[in-house]
Amino acid sequence: MQDEDLLPQKLATIVSIDVAGYSEMTEDDQAATAAGVSALRRHIEAIAARCAGRVFNTAGDGFMLEFCAADDALAAASELCEHEALPLRAGVHTDTVFVTATGDLLGHGVNIAARLQQLAEPGTALVSIDARRGATGPLAEHLRPKGLLHLDKMAATIEAFALIPARGARAAKVREPLLAVLPFDNLSGDEAMQFFSDGVSDEILAVIVRVPGLKVIGRTSSFQFRGSRKAEAVVALHATHILDGTVRRAGARMRINSQLTDVTGTLIWSEKYDADVADAFSVQDSIAAQVATALQAALPRHKRPAAKVDHVAYDLYLRARPLVKDLAEDDARKAEPLLQQAIARAPDFAQAWAALAMARSIVLPPHEDGQGDPAHDAALAAANRALALDPDCADALIALAVLKPAFTDHGEKLQLCEQAVALAPNDPLVAAACDGALISVGRVRDAMRHLEAAATLDPLSPLFVSSHAFHLRTMGRTDEALSRIDEAARRFPDAPWVWIRRWTLLFLSGRREEAAAMCAEGAALPPGVTAKDTATLRFAHMVFALPLPQREQALRMLLDPAREPALLLQYCAFAAEAGCSDLAYEFMFGALDTGRAISGQNYGGRAMSRAFRLSTLFGFVAAALRRDPRFAVFCARVGLADYWCTSQNWPDCVDEVKGLYDFRAACEKAVVRVGS
């Protein structure tokens, strides 16, 4: 056997294919099945060759294919999954592999493709996030997010997407959801807490059984599966979804973790709750209510026929919707009464409820999460009402995402946005929301495809065009970014988004004289840019010209809460870029310690800027902050590091700073320190 370390390596996209139900088919008719597989081998070889790939290994009904490009692999997998004679399933993954002397491929990446294939439904393919990142063709836009998958015999999870060919999607049989609520594990080491673990599960079940349209397995059956037997539950109970969790107690505090998975092990929803033991019963009610709400959005439903809508209500909705889509506070305030009138005439108008939820979210305070505030609760109620009427309402899913706290629920916000993109792939605002969710967890490269989609779908949007330029600069494509923003300035001279982003790009990309001319006293300004804004920008030019001691003093004044109650992360990034990282982190950690509000920026995109305010940390403006190892500690304090360690979906800055420090190790260490 060859030593893999001595073998040549290369990057490849692997497609693993087998026949679903092959053993049963062989038992029924061995000769016919063997003939079918023999014909299938020739069919696979022909498709692989046509898609610039090759078959590098076969075993019985299993085939391993190699492709240089992810798009070619997806094209082959899509065509093969439409095979009419035999039900095929596939797994697709991109990774570095080892090449043997015989042309066979070995390595962890090959194993991942095989494990994904085992989880795929007949007639579909499961595609890893690594393969998805390399795909740019039309099939990439039709991948449906499946969340995190637990692969057989592998410790790590992997984010995956389902590729369902058009014929397969039409023919696929939709199975009615059937939920099993398992008894939560007691991890506290205190057997007396078992009653609470079981009580949490009981309370959740009691609420969920009252949710219309959901079928839930009874307690007598589901509570038989404890400890190691939980892995048997999904098969033994014929469930489509499993709700499970753990309870841990430390003194007077307790931590409850809940998670919802589907039949393949895909993580659909998860949440962590910290509370006092004295609040046990109120926590049980809270968990049950939140899980029931999440299930309404997470579990698949049969699409309801579209209800007839009062024509006057529809006219009101059409007038209000553009006001909401611009994400401007003044417009949102104008939209709300129109939507309330529409709903009064048509109480079951799901889209109007969703638009009302977004309008209410836009006018919430820009620097606060607002959980528990009546205005926030009203927005949340509108979003949940929309989803109760139409579980496939993409706008309502986006509203739920932007109503989430900025420093928690990172995975859930992203999941909601990806669900919305799958439902409304041609909606630019939905694409922009997914872009914001991805950037707020540091995945700029993945976000780029959503923003490019938004800019393509809405090419006259100054917000999307200017954001695209920012992304290009973050990815190191400075010349393209500057060309893009200069073009945007010519096309949209009155757009404040374009103006402020052009100044930022010029200032930090070596064109400071042009940036200074933009904010000079008496310079022409677009509507919405004030004299106070330009004074702040002139202050930036002045600061960079000062010696370091005076520079620090000036920046301290800029960051002082007496000047600005909320700490703006864009100002902290600016301070670090000016060589004052110590000062930036002093204020960042100070804000967390004192409860001072933290915001990303002071302009534009109210609802998304509030929910995704951490996105400021991952743009090119904050590169100096990321180069400092304290960045990992700050990320742990705002919940990001815990999300990365759990999901293994690490941000782009892992590679960006690897010459300076080990970002993964720093995050893992910080998570332990913050949790202790």
- Quick check: 395 pLDDT over 70? yes
Residue 566 belongs to a domain: no
Residue 278 belongs to a domain: yes
CA atoms within 13 A on the CB side of 675: 13
DSSP symbols for 203-264: HHHHHHTTSTT-EE--HHHHTT--GGGGGGHHHHTT-SEEEEEEEEEETTEEEEEEEEEETT
**What backbone phi and psi angles, to 5 degrees, belong to 63?**
-135, 135
**What backbone phi and psi angles, to 5 degrees, belong to 593?**
-70, -35
47 and 106 share one domain: yes
288 and 240 share one domain: yes
Q: What angle do CA 451, 447, 455 make, to 5 degrees?
A: 5
pLDDT by residue (tens digit) across 579-604? 999 999 999 999 999 999 998 765 54
pLDDT by residue (tens digit) across 519-536? 999 888 998 888 888 988
pLDDT at 126: 93
32 and 161 share one domain: yes
| Structural domain total, the chain | 2
pLDDT at 31: 72
Mean of pLDDT values over 405-429: 82
Alpha-carbon span 388 to 209, nearest angstrom:
15
149 and 206 share one domain: no
SS3 for 546?
A: coil
pLDDT at 267: 67
Domain boundary among 154, 171, 188: 171
pLDDT at 158: 84
Alpha-carbon span 177 to 291, nearest angstrom:
15
Helices (H), 53-107: 70-81
Mean of pLDDT values over 148-153: 78
222 and 238 share one domain: yes
**Torsion of the alpha carbons at 548, 551, 553 and 555, rounded to the nearest 10:** -130
pLDDT by residue (tens digit) across 80-101? 887 656 788 999 999 989 888 8
Q: How many CB atoms lie within 10 A of CB 520?
A: 12
pLDDT at 203: 63
Q: Which positions ≥6 away from 452 have C-beta within 8 Å?
A: 468
Write down the pTM of the prediction.
0.61
Both structure tokens of 166: 């058009």
DSSP symbols for 476-544: T-HHHHHHHHHHHHHH-TT-HHHHHHHHHHHHTTT-HHHHHHHTSTT----TT--HHHHHHHHHHHHHH
DSSP symbols for 395-407: HHHHHHHHTS-SS
Name the residue with higher pLDDT: 324 or 401.
401
Query: Nearest Cα to 220, choosing from 260, 192, 181, 176?
Result: 181
Share of the chain above pLDDT 70, in %: 83
pLDDT at 323: 82
Residue 589 burial by Cβ neighbours in a 10 Å radius (0-12, 13-18, 19+): middle
Share of the chain above pLDDT 90, in %: 32
CA Rg, the chain, in Å?
27
Confidence band for 650, pLDDT divided at 50, 70 and 90? very high
Contact (CB, 8 A) for 168 and 124: yes
Domain boundary among 278, 298, 318: 298
Alpha-carbon span 674 to 131, nearest angstrom:
34
Alpha-carbon span 349 to 310, nearest angstrom:
9
Query: Nearest Cα to 169, choosing from 149, 150, 187, 144?
Result: 144
pLDDT by residue (tens digit) across 188-225? 777 766 766 776 676 676 556 655 556 777 766 788 88
Whichever domain contains 141, its CATH number is: 3.30.70.1230
Name the residue with higher pLDDT: 311 or 618.
618
127 and 102 share one domain: yes
232 and 209 share one domain: yes
Whichever domain contains 246, its CATH number is: 3.40.50.10070
Domain of residue 222: give its range.
178-298
Contact (CB, 8 A) for 259 and 204: no
What is the separation, in whole angstroms, between the first and last Cα of the chain?
A: 47
161 and 182 share one domain: no
Domain boundary among 283, 298, 313: 298
Mean pLDDT score of the chain, rounded to an integer? 83
**Which of these ranges, 21-35, 247-261, 277-291, has the smallest mean pLDDT?**
277-291
Residues in the chain, how many?
A: 676
Residue 27 burial by Cβ neighbours in a 10 Å radius (0-12, 13-18, 19+): exposed
